Amino acid sequence: MRMTVTRTADTNTPRTYMFEYDFMQNAFAASGIVAVMAGLVGYFLVLRGQSFAGHALSHLGFTGATGAVLIGAPPLWGLIAVTVAGGVGMGLLGERFAQRDVAIGIVLTVSLGFGLLFLHFFTSYVATATALLFGNVLAVDAATVWVLLVLGLVSVVALAVLSRPLLFASIQPELAEAKGVPLQGIGVAFLAIVALATAGSVQIVGVLLVFALMVGPAAAAQRLTAGVLPGLALAAGLALAEAWLALALAFETDWPTSFWITVLSAGVYLTAMALGRIT
């Protein structure tokens, strides 16, 4: 979505004119909700070494969204349904699945293949496919913002309830199992939460760029902090800053928001790596 706006020549006017547009207000609200959710969930995703599985869920979501378009349903609902089902399925497969990168790679390609097949029957939805693959936060309407808010609240509350046993199972799985922590149940519940966060992130950065918002800030935070709570706060803060700064840069340059998010995410992570080596 290209942004063609008329800017005032009055240099004394504060540069807040972008908030005069409804689509920018919706974009800032949606990206803020998703960024905080993605940062918090992504922290545990990176901690557990399941980043690639999270990427696979986004591809499953593409299939669900395009399948929903095929039957005339809203793409977001198909995205949510299939990602959650995929997350639960991955969780039930447990460590066997987590150790099989080849299997995950096959899931990625097959999911995209089915998604493209579904779009083949409705060639008029090429714009929908592009938005799903690369994101289009500037097209988010007020109704979608409310849906994302519900997704965010459910994800964050569920993550808070699960956080203690999840942290124990992530850091010391053998000891946690010996203490009676249900590792498989924790894994299933967590990947269901990841699926919800992924469904929200796809609305902002698309299927192919979920890593930028969900993994980048979390990985940088873990390199810069030692504690869990500071790490969670920093991951959410970095994701929020990247999303909002990307929107401002997109407004000024008319370049895609997803591009700016990926550039900022990579820059922050590389900076965190450099600072980590120095300290």
What pLDDT does 100 receive?
A: 55
What pLDDT does 133 receive?
A: 72
Tokens of 45: 């995703």
Contact 53, 211 (CB under 8 A): no
Q: How far apart are CA 129 and CA 103, in angstroms?
A: 25
Q: Residue 244 domain-assigned?
A: no
119 against 230, higher pLDDT: 230
Closest of 186, 210, 192, 209 to residue 155, by C-alpha: 192
For residue 11, give every residue at least 6 positions away whose Cβ sits within 8 Å of its Cβ, in sequence order, or none: none
What pLDDT does 94 receive?
A: 62
121 against 12, higher pLDDT: 121
Q: How far apart are CA 150 and CA 182, in angstroms?
A: 28
Q: How far apart are CA 49 and CA 43, in angstroms?
A: 10
| Cα angle for residues 174, 180, 184 (degrees, 5° grid) | 70
Is the predicted pLDDT of residue 254 greater than 70, yes or no?
A: yes
Q: How far apart are CA 6 and CA 163, in angstroms?
A: 47
Please compute the mean of the pLDDT values over residues 101-122 and round it to a whole number: 71
Contact 82, 134 (CB under 8 A): no
Assign 96 a pLDDT band (cuts: 50, 70, 90). Answer: low
Q: Residue 86 domain-assigned?
A: yes
| Cα angle for residues 69, 212, 273 (degrees, 5° grid) | 170
Reported as type and span, the H/E element at residue 243 is helix 228-253
Half-sphere exposure in the Cβ direction for 51 (13 Å, CA): 17
The label of the residue with tokens 């299927």 reads 207
Q: Residue 11 domain-assigned?
A: no
Q: Which domain holds residue 142?
A: 20-208
What pLDDT does 126 receive?
A: 62
pLDDT digits (tens, 9 = 90+) for 1-43: 445 444 444 444 445 578 888 999 999 999 999 999 999 999 9
Q: Residue 115 domain-assigned?
A: yes
For residue 132, give every residue at least 6 positions away whose Cβ sits within 8 Å of its Cβ, in sequence order, or none: 62, 65, 66, 75, 79, 115, 202, 206, 207
Closest of 130, 266, 279, 140 to residue 208, by C-alpha: 130
- Give the count of domains, the chain: 1
Closest of 169, 180, 201 to residue 98, by C-alpha: 169
Q: Residue 9 domain-assigned?
A: no
CA 245 remoteness from chain centre: 17
Q: Residue 143 domain-assigned?
A: yes
pLDDT digits (tens, 9 = 90+) for 141-166: 899 899 999 999 999 999 999 999 99
Assign 101 a pLDDT band (cuts: 50, 70, 90). Answer: low
Please state at what angle helix 75-93 crosses helix 142-171, rounded to 10 degrees: 10
Q: Residue 149 domain-assigned?
A: yes
Closest of 140, 184, 145 to residue 166, by C-alpha: 184
What pLDDT does 129 receive?
A: 66
CATH of the domain at 89: 1.10.3470.10
CA 122 remoteness from chain centre: 27
Q: Residue 270 domain-assigned?
A: no
